[in-house]
Structures are given as C-alpha cells and as structure tokens.
A and B are shown apart, each in its own frame.
Chain A
C-alpha cells in the first residue's frame, strides 16, 4: 500500500466527515431558506427535515461505501487474501485446476483465509473464526 494511496483514502474519508458536519450545521439554515410553502399538505421545512436531510446522510454513507471501496485501506482487507495469492504463486496450490479447495496449502500453511461458512454460521459449536485475526494478517504480510 503506497503512502499516496493511503493518503488519498484518508483525505476522502475526512472530507466526507467534514461534509456531514457542514450539512448538520447548515441544516437549520436550509430550513429557513426553504420558505413557508407546502407540498401535499406538508410544509417545506418538514419535508427537508424528515425526508431530504436523512436521505442526504444515507446518500453520503452509500457514496462513501462505493467511493472508498477501491481506495480505503480498510476495505482491502477483504481483498488481501487474493492479493497475497497473486504475490505468492505457491499459495495457488490451495486452488488446484480441478477447483477443489485444499486447506492445507493456504498461506500461512493450514489456515484457510476464505473460510466464511455463512450457511452454518449459526452453529454454536463452530469454533472457526471466519474472518481474519490480526495475527493471521500479519502472518500473511510476512
């Protein structure tokens, strides 16, 4: 992960947070500017506060999810296993040509980074951690 790459993600995240703060602060101003008209019986102020403002915050959250998927380092953890396999060809032994996954050849050896069995996720006896622990991620980085 290059420094400029991470910096770009950081700037965008903080920028979006700043936009949210600005929107919150300016919301009463927007209500005042909306005037005293009404639409279908509801005043403009009510429509702004109840519909438009929450939709705006939802849109920013969705924008953040989609915009930062490529840039934000936090999302890359999901991609990290794939990148690791690409960087270390021997890990590909975990996925032979016939498509049967071999847990023994995952990197680090014996740890399956893709284990994410949602169908049995409610089995209380399942001791597996389907995601990454910090130790394992560190191991992969090594």
Chain B
C-alpha cells in the first residue's frame, strides 16, 4: 500500500516536471509566482475522502499534486503553511448572470415585446423575447464587480447566462478571474436557459399567458427540426424548390444543441416539476430543471426521469414588510417551511443536483442558504458536492474542474474551518491558479445608529434634469448594507456597503457611457431621512433621501386567499 502510494507520487512528480517543461515561461503578472504549495492543511477534494495534514501543489493554473507529506514541492513554489486551514474545491454557482452586463435595449424582433418601436409580436413566427444568439462567452465583462464579490464569497466558477425573454441566450462555464474577458471562459456553450413565464402582461403582445408561452416554445422546437430537414433536402437539390428561410433564432439554438448544451427548464412547484418532465419528453432535448424547491413532494418522480436539477437557493420566505393582517395560506406556510428540505429529498432519491444562487443579490447569503438545507437534513458532504463537483458534472466540465484532483484547474477556496461553520472565514481563493486574498473592507467599526432597512427614495439633479432612484436596503446587524437600486438608468445591485454610527456608504456598479462604473453613495442618515453625495466618474452630485414610514395596512381584496 505504502509502496504503491509513493510510486504514485513519483509518477505525479515526473508528470509534473514533464508538464512544466512543456510550457513556455511567462512572467507572472502582479508579482506572484505561478507555483504554490499549501502544506499541512486539511484538504477536502470532494472526489475522495478528506485528508488531514495534506499538501496541494498548484502550478501554472492547474493542480500539480495532491497528497500527504511526501508530495514533492517544487523548489520555486511559494509555500503556504496550511495549519488550521481547510482547502476545498472552488465553489460553483450552477446558474447566475454574474459577469454578464445587463441586457442591451430592444434590438430588432428579438427585443422586448412592444418596446422601442418594435411591432408587437403577433405569433411564434415573430420570435418574441428570443435572443439565443447572445452568448455569455462573448458578453462576459470584467467590469462586473460581482465577479469580485462572488469570488470573495468562495465562488471560483459559475454558469452564467444572459437574461431576459423566453430564450435569453447561451450560458457558459466561467472562472471568476482573468486578464481579459476571454480568460474567464472554461466552456461554452453549456446551457440554453429558457423562461416559461409571460412577462409583458396583458396586452403586451404574444405570448401573454403561460399556455401561450408553451405553445410558442413547442413551435420553436418543431421549427428547428423542420428547418434542419428542409435545409438538407434543399441543399441536395435546390432547383425547383422554394428556399427555406433563414432564422437566426433557430440557427443559434440548433448550434448550441449540437454542442450538447442543456436546455434549462424553470420549474419550482410540484405542478411545474411534473410538467417539466412531460415537456422534456415532448421537446426531445437534453434538459435540466432549475428551481425545484418543492422537490420534496416529487423527488421519486424526478429520480425516475434522471434529469439533473439546479436547486434555487432563494428560499421562499415571508414577504418583507407584509401586511400583518394578511395571514398567509397554509399552503404557502408549508412551502416556506419545507422548501429547504428539497435538496435532502433529492439526495435521498438519488437525483443529481447542484445549487444556483438564482438572483440572490449578496453572495454571502448563498452559503448561508445552503446551510439552511443542511439544517433541513442534507448531509454536509452532499451539500458541498452540490456546490462543487455536481454542477461540474452536470455541465460537462468535471474533467477539468469541480474537485481537488491532480491535473484539474486550480480552483480552490481556503478557509479557517468548516465551510458551513458560522464563524468560518474564507482566507484565500485560487482561480485558475491565481491567488486572491480576502480584503477585509476598510470601514469604521461603530455600530449603526438605527436600522437602514427599507425602501428609500433618493432625489438629486443631474445635468439632464431631476432624477429619482429607489434604494431597497437591507442592513445586517453589523451594519453591512445590501440591496438594489432602481432608477431610470436601470436596476443595480449593491456590491459593498455599510452603516456606522450615523454615516453610511454603499457602492453600485452600472453601465455608464458604455463602461461599467462604480457609483458610490456616501452620507449620513437619521431615522427616515438621509443626505449625502453620489460620486461617479469625476462628478459628485448631492442627494436627499426619505423613507416612507411603514405602510399602515394596504388595501386587500376581501378575505379570499
């Protein structure tokens, strides 16, 4: 046994030397070496059992070796003493839009329906809400500050997709670091997310109902099939046959399917989950389900179909600022209570599943949300797998990432304790072998004087005139601010923010004049008013803000649930 192990080590060392020798030397950017060794740490490879007092060697972006004390450490490696540290594979968010700038405005027939002067869609042939030619791989932008905030929360890898419409685009596996946007792309395309919810509302053009959306999507898959057959016949002998039309939606979808992209079907309730199983059969596509928060009711049926599942971590909860007289239904209460038990039910039924942050604004909340499912019965190692190796398997990149194995991409997260521990802190992160340390935000430590949570309306004047922005703030007990801002320039997520004493500051990042720019709000607050300034580019604009007092009973339509 021992002999066998040491032989393995020798082999891996040999392989490492060979590997290194083949690569041209490139000067490391930013002064850091290309070799690291974390020595004497607890290593949780996920692909195998945890190892105490183990060593991980990273070279030029890949894992060179993993093992015990006898792992050889290259002479020029930067050695990190791992005592008290735990090394996990980098966390993997199964579906998000991190790295993808918000959708560009209406463009041609694929743009939002009825907007921007485009004619209202009259049927599936107008291809409403379909932009499948948009790809995450092409649109990913280093300007999205969420790349950093996700990374700081331990996520080295995400599946990211453009958003908006029924066929928003093609998703890619991205690693969250790089010099240029192309460096981030691990594999593309890997998925075609779709939406089945009519968004435009009544009178907004086709489709404005769920059943209309379904009819539309059915028709698109049928058209895809027809076009490929008709196109082939036409190419063989075009004479005398009227030419089948070119359709950019079909072309983009067909291309992605050829690349084995999974069609991601949203389904959350038991009803939707069962419907999704029918749809996958009807559409004859490789599918996966996104949502699955009521999987606790139908786990066996899902298991029988063997579809991979991305469980949404945005657990259903009581509505913030809900009317206290508006008692939720028992059905909702049960759902809120049981939703976090869905991953445990899926694990028990043997379903392959991963987690998706699904729009959670603050990445720190993601692992906390996973913790909820652990509290609801999911084994911690299963939870970790659903955050690492399982998504890699689902999206076909387990051969290169998702676990700590020799030869895989050096995506690692190093903590000072158990990942799900309440006091655990992330110490450093490796993305593609590049090391990132967690910077503790530099900020005053005084406790905030009051709770800033709530909806604030900010008023200010720009060179273009008076403007208003709504800021939906959530303040953590330590003063950390999170939330979103919504104004005429769009909606943005707060990247960092805090309140201390009567002072506060928060930063958003949004596209301004074609670039993603930080917009920093600083000021003071007192009860329901605030004032301060907005700093963007080289400008500074003063603002005042108010928070309307809690609504005193909204009008409800009778007592009917």
The finding on whether chains A and B are genuine partners in a shared complex, rather than unrelated, reads: no
A interface, CB within 8 angstroms of B: none
